[in-house]
Chain A
Amino acid sequence: MTRIVVFLLALLAAFPAPAAETPAAGTLATQTQATERLATETLNEGQVLRGAFVQERFLKGFQAPLKSGGHFTLAPGRGLIWRTETPFAVTTVMSPAGLVQEVKGNETMRLPAARLPFMSKLYTMLGGALTGDWKALEDMFAVERGGDRDAWTLHLTPRRTNDPTMPIRAIDVRGGRFVEEVEIVKPDGDRDRLTFRDQRLNAEAPTADEAALLASAARP
């Protein structure tokens, strides 16, 4: 029973107010303590981060983790495109305006940010985590740091320990120049592990295809 409740809570109740627009990551990053010690690349407006990912979801009672892989594109201020390629093609686009999911070109889900601030919070957090901006996370999580400049670790735990609306028990992050691995532990023991590789940071503008996806997610 608690599972459906947790689901509902994640859906209906959630996080503090959504950020309307992600500030240029670089400026914020220099202000946060975390980045002073980390060598993580930070993004500036106009830069685009691209890479490959593997997502493994360890769910209780499942024989094997739900494993998916693909490529992502993060354009600060505009959105995150998450293209899952295996086991089948799902494209998820998150923008400050909300989330859109497409399967084979068909829209299967559209959640406006106004309806689910959790979404845009997640966008802010994930965008932040990938670009070295920990500010959004530090608001909500206590951060323990470990390792050194070139191989660092972060262990995040929610600041409010007995908040029933908090769908996360802990987050572990490992990285060097870029974030390399994120593991999210849910209260009931389910885990999501994201592994990143082949990350490139450049000023290459989003392709027409990507721009169309971002624009689609920005529609209310």
Chain B
Amino acid sequence: MRRLGALLWLALVLLAGGYLALRLHDGLGFRTDLLALLPREEQDPVLQRANDAVTKALGRRVLVLVGHADRETARKAAAKLGDALLATGQVERIGEGIDVDRLKRLGALYFPHRQSLLSDGDRALLAAGKGEEVATRAQAQAFGFAGLVDAGLLRTDPFLLLPSFLTNLPFPLSRLTPDEGMLSVTENGATWVLVSAVLAGEPFELDLQDRLVDAFDAAVGEMPGVTVKRLGAVFFAHAGSKTAIAEASTLGTLSLVGTIVLTALAFRRPGPLLHNLLALGVGMTVGLSGSLLLFGELHVAALLFGSSLIGVAVDYSLHYSASLFDPLSGSPRDRLRHVLPGIALGLVTTLIGYAALMLAPFPGLRQIAAFSIIGLVGAFLTVVLWLPSLDRAGKLTHGAWMLRAAAGLWGFWEERRWRGVRVVLLLGCALAGTVGLARLSADDDVRRLQAVSAELRQEQDEIQRLIGATTAAQFLLVQAADDEAALRLQEDLAATLAGLKAKGSIAGYQMPAAFVPSARTQRENRALVAGALDGPLLAAQRASLGLPPAGPDDKAPNDKAADGVLTLKDALAADSVPFLRELVLGPGLHVVALQGLNDPDAVRAAVAGTAGVRLVNPTADFSALLAKYRHRALLLTGLAGLLMLPVLMWRYGWQGGLWTLLPPGAALILAPAAVGLMGQDFTFFHAMALVLILSIGVDYAVFCAESGVEQQPVTMLAVWLATLTTLLSFGLLAFSAVPAVHSFGMTMLIGISIAFLFAPLAARGARHNEATTGARLL
């Protein structure tokens, strides 16, 4: 019967392994987009597309300023750096594409429509009937000093409307100027030359990061005396992954070596360690393939947290292995029978805890829950069905001192002489808990969760100051039936945006309508030019410029476009307007890029009344998402505790149930309180640690509650070992430099320690109960 169960389980595990292998072979990709974590009813495919497009364009951009007092040196260094980046093959294109050819196309695009394109200033002047001012300005430019105006332009555009339109185009990078094919800016005698690139892949690909940044550093190393400033997601990501990899290898090695040494020292044989790994490995395999089957795909966050949650499984196999120290235990089957009630109850309570995560309509939490539930059941079945058969080892006899030491904690809670200390400790905890919780505040700002290199951030700020606004991650998404409607929406918003800019709520903005006005506006412009300039002033203007009266020749050959309007489609097809492509996502779906968004609430309020326009602020949206998940995780942890109670009460009576929940409950209260006392803000990552603390804490409590008096030292040893391995794998994360990981690890470190420290208290209720009912499972 048992053999059959073990074989069936083996078949199932092999099946799961095969399925996983198949999926991996097909190229298993994990979802990484954060919006996939939003509740489904809050997901908006249009918004997601817009966000993806903007984030992608932004993420792939690399801006570097190469500076030197000598212009030639700076230019040569910039060219060399550009070549070096291109040579890596990780770069799609170098340069902003503002070259002579592009400018020729820009001129060719706008010139036929010069009567329809007005700068905001000219439009206001003409609308106010001040056509003379426009005419006078053109004359001043024609007669004035160092006239840039050539004859042809003056003949075909005697009011010089097009130059005025062109010089007022809101290009980003506004402080940069083309200088013999390179964009540059000078400040305090130094020339800064821009090297810009677009990555061929995603900035988070490790291989791309390494190759690009290595080539970059090598090239910069060969340019003594040249100052280089960097801006780009790839640099931040590289710095971040360098920290993460270094940390992962240190912390990972420490954790692994620590666990191996610990189990080896404790058991003095490899069996228990291998059992541990087997249970975990099977849990992961089954959990992963099971949830892939269930969801079709997995989010990388679910994988990360899910595999942490499966870590609880270590408790079961350790509890089983520690029974080797029990002098009264017999065969492996006997030992299993002995620990089975404890680990079965531990499993049930943990499953309740994880299942509670399923109650929220958050895809992320659901995937985490499903993954860890399946994995945990897998690990449990492995312990129950396989370990006794694999385990041929005899009893361990070297553990006397360890058992004595482990039992010490139990003694602390039971013996009379510690009474005073116990009271002081409990009072201290109560005080710390009250003060800490009162001081605790939440902060979900995602920017504070990342380990961002201060040096890179400073370089980024300097670059933005030197070259003017760069493309930004925040934007208004304009959604309308077609391009014309979208352009009109933007023009209607222009005054609002100008007001926001004047107030300092935003530093600047770029809208497609500034580059290609709507047909409505173009027709209005033409009417304005005809009424306020051509009608009353053209003859006088031509005369004062010494031009013959307007004849048919003065229309340039391609002026047949005069009746038509410049359409966005034509402008995009010509690909002559820099940056325009990034602002138009599709017909009627436009982006108004916002730079220096200082007051998102003001902007949100200002556009609230305009249908089809909304503010997209990915950082804030992600922070809000984290806040939602934090709320949900906290609520569900509380709910899980409540749901565990009936099970514990069924087993230990109502009083015993409460005693059993006391240690994890104390950990759940004191861990956040400690976070508050340390002056840290509470985040989603702290909350996720609480889910784990509850599950693990209940396990410890149940193990203690299940333990008969004679098994107390063995049980305590198992709980000791479980605590130490948990601290080695999660508590060490407290030393991470990544704030999110540090938060998680720190909470685990404190919470698990408290759950462990208080665990023997769970036995009080159980014994109480035992005395009255004498109930014992199995």
Contact = CB atoms under 8 A, between A and B. Distances in A.
A18 to B, nearest CB: 6
B186 A17 contact: yes
Given A17-B184, A63-B548, A90 B179 contact: no
A92 B145 CA distance: 7
Nearest to A104: B136
B188 A20 contact: yes
Interface stretch (B99-107, B328-336, B393-401, B730-738): B99-107
B163 A7 contact: yes
A9 interface: yes
A163 B144 contact: no
Interface stretch (A27-35, A147-155, A185-193, A202-210): A185-193
Contacts of B178: 12-14, 165
A10 B546 contact: no
Given A12-B178, A66-B545, A108-B137, A6 B103 contact: no
A122 B146 CA distance: 8
Nearest to A92: B145
B472 interface: no
B544 interface: yes
B547 A63 contact: yes
Given A4-B153, A5-B107, A17 B148 contact: no
Given A62-B545, A63-B547, A188-B152, A14 B143 contact: no
Contacts of B546: 62-66
B151 interface: yes
B588 to A, nearest CB: 30
B767 interface: no
A87 B50 CA distance: 55
B189 interface: yes
B103 A62 contact: no
B103 A188 contact: no
Interface stretch (A39-47, A109-117, A171-179): A109-117
B450 interface: no
Contact of B144 (A2, A6, A82, A190): A82
Interface residues of B, number: 54
B222 to A, nearest CB: 23
A61 B151 contact: yes
B243 interface: no
B162 to A, nearest CB: 7
A92 B144 contact: yes
B177 interface: yes
A16 B179 contact: yes
Contacts of A109: 137, 140-141
A165 B100 contact: yes
Given A12-B103, A109-B140, A1 B556 contact: yes
B175 interface: yes
Contacts of B581: none
A4 B156 CA distance: 10
A21 B143 CA distance: 27
A147 to B, nearest CB: 26
A142 B401 CA distance: 95
A4 B146 CA distance: 17
Interface in A104-148: 106, 108-109, 111, 114-117, 122, 126
B166 A11 contact: yes
A127 B544 CA distance: 30
Interface in B79-110: 98, 100, 103-104, 106-108
B191 interface: yes
Contacts of B142: 57, 66
A103 interface: yes
Interface in B161-188: 162-163, 166-167, 174-175, 177-181, 184-186, 188
Given A16-B71, A122-B146, A165-B180, A4 B186 contact: no
Nearest to A82: B145
Contacts of A63: 546-548
Nearest to A114: B175
B165 to A, nearest CB: 12
B100 A68 contact: no
A75 B33 CA distance: 61
A103 B136 contact: yes
A1 B107 CA distance: 8
Given A9-B103, A66-B546, A106-B133, A17 B71 contact: yes
A59 B154 contact: yes
A84 interface: yes
Contact of A117 (B155, B179, B181, B558): B179
A163 B180 CA distance: 9
Contacts of A1: 107-108, 111, 556, 558
Contacts of B152: 2-4, 60-61, 188
A4 B141 CA distance: 15
A67 to B, nearest CB: 8
Contact of B148 (A11, A66, A117): A11
A87 B111 contact: no
* Residue with the greatest number of chain B CB neighbours at <10 A, chosen from A8, A94, A163: A8
B166 A8 contact: yes
Contacts of B144: 68, 82, 84, 90, 92, 101
Contact of B143 (A2, A6, A90, A117): A90
A136 B142 CA distance: 26
Contacts of B163: 7, 11
B164 to A, nearest CB: 9
B346 to A, nearest CB: 69
B473 to A, nearest CB: 26
B2 to A, nearest CB: 82
A84 B145 contact: yes
Contacts of B438: none
A164 interface: yes
Contact of A59 (B140, B150, B175, B188): B150
Nearest to B101: A164
Contact of A62 (B136, B547, B558): B547
Interface in B102-142: 103-104, 106-108, 111, 133, 136-137, 139-142
Contacts of B145: 55, 82, 84, 90, 92, 94
B527 interface: no
A125 B312 CA distance: 77
B535 interface: no
Nearest to B140: A90
B547 A7 contact: no
Contacts of A106: 133
Given A11-B163, A66-B546, A117-B177, A84 B143 contact: yes
B140 A101 contact: yes
Nearest to B155: A61
B22 interface: no
B147 interface: yes
13 contacts: A1-B107, A6-B150, A7-B153, A8-B106, A12-B166, A12-B178, A57-B147, A60-B151, A87-B143, A109-B141, A114-B185, A163-B180, A165-B181
Given A5-B103, A8-B166, A55-B145, 10 more contacts: A1-B108, A13-B103, A16-B180, A62-B547, A68-B143, A68-B144, A82-B145, A101-B144, A109-B141, A167-B148
